[in-house]
Amino acid sequence: MLTEENIEDLVVQCCAGDEDAVRELADAAASDPGRVAPHHARLIAAGVFGRGEVYRGADEATTGELVRLADAADGVALGELLDCVANAHPVDAERAFRRWQLAEDVGVHTRDAGWELTPSGTRRDLLLGPAFALLPVDAEDIEAPEGTAGGPDGPPVFGTPSGEHCPWCGMELHAALDLPPGSAAARALGLTGPDHVRVLCCPRCTDFDIILSAYDGSGGARWLEHNVRPSFNGPTLDGWDPYPTRLVLGPARPDGGSGSAWHDGGSALGGHPDWIQDPDRPDCPLCGRAMVFASMNGGADLWGGEGCLYVFVDLDCRTGAVLYQQS
């Protein structure tokens, strides 16, 4: 974990134009926004706008200055400043984007920051809530019948075999997200309704393309016919095994910050996605709206390697999507 001295050193390096330091400071702000916020004025004065996440948790004054600069910018500078504003103070950011929305399509900036404006101009959050750690547990240590495994409050959030099989490769599908009503994980995300939210993925085919599923609200889930088999789906089934690890709910992350797609212990329920590649938020296959981010399940926790599985849901349409990224 970075110390306050480390943060100060990164700020100095950012102000001197070090792009690697900007990326590292953005990661620090994503995981704990309050630690970077006191430095925002210095960063603005130095023109540090390359990563919008740096300004996550910004106050009204900081957001106002970012908006002022964006109003006077164009080209690449404008795009960077729009990313910064989208991550900043919610009320002021919404007000600015309502005004900008009249002139051009700026939705990509807000969606990457975890929200969007509807056609009527109201805010729609694309996040389920603050981040909680997801802790790895060896699959062999999970006992008791489904619905009670992983502790007294329900099954593992990730990794339970579903009994359904992938139409492309025949492997058993697993639950990429399992939130029974009333479970600790569901409550952590503020889900108080009666639906059992369940999203499926294939241990093999999810590595090659997005996997879409639908759930019935009672614990059942199925593969969606909207899935499109990729042109390359791996040369063979050899070497592909079921997930050896389950993920169970852990403590809240500091200041509601996000998990990490790169490090052990980085898997998270809620918060923002930590993208390895470019942001790739899917749309619901039924209604076409942007889906809501639910969890990220890191390869470092699941199989001791790189990569990350990102899980999205549409709670109204009862659909889910899982996509994979690696460096």
Q: What pLDDT is recorded for position 148?
A: 35
- Spatial strand order of the sheet with 161-165 comes to 161-165, 172-179, 197-201
Q: What pLDDT is recorded for position 176?
A: 97
Q: What pLDDT is recorded for position 145?
A: 37
Q: What pLDDT is recorded for position 220?
A: 96
Query: What tokens appear for 192 in the block?
Result: 């108080």
The owner of tokens 């540090």 is 48
pLDDT tens-digit profile of 153-212? 557 999 999 999 999 999 999 999 999 999 999 999 999 999 999 999 999 999 999 999
Q: Nearest CA to 246 among 82, 170, 134? A: 134
Q: What pLDDT is recorded for position 141?
A: 67
Angle, vertex CA 13, rays to CA 10 and CA 14, nearest 5: 85
Amino acid code (one letter) for 156: P
Q: What pLDDT is recorded for position 254?
A: 73
Q: Which residues of the chain have pLDDT under 70?
A: 102-104, 140-154, 237, 255-256
Q: What pLDDT is recorded for position 142?
A: 58
Q: What pLDDT is recorded for position 106?
A: 81
Sign of CA dihedral 209, 210, 215, 220: positive
Q: Helices 60-71 and 90-101, interaxial angle, to 10°?
A: 20
Q: What pLDDT is recorded for position 230?
A: 87
pLDDT tens-digit profile of 217-251? 999 999 999 999 988 877 776 778 888 899 999 99
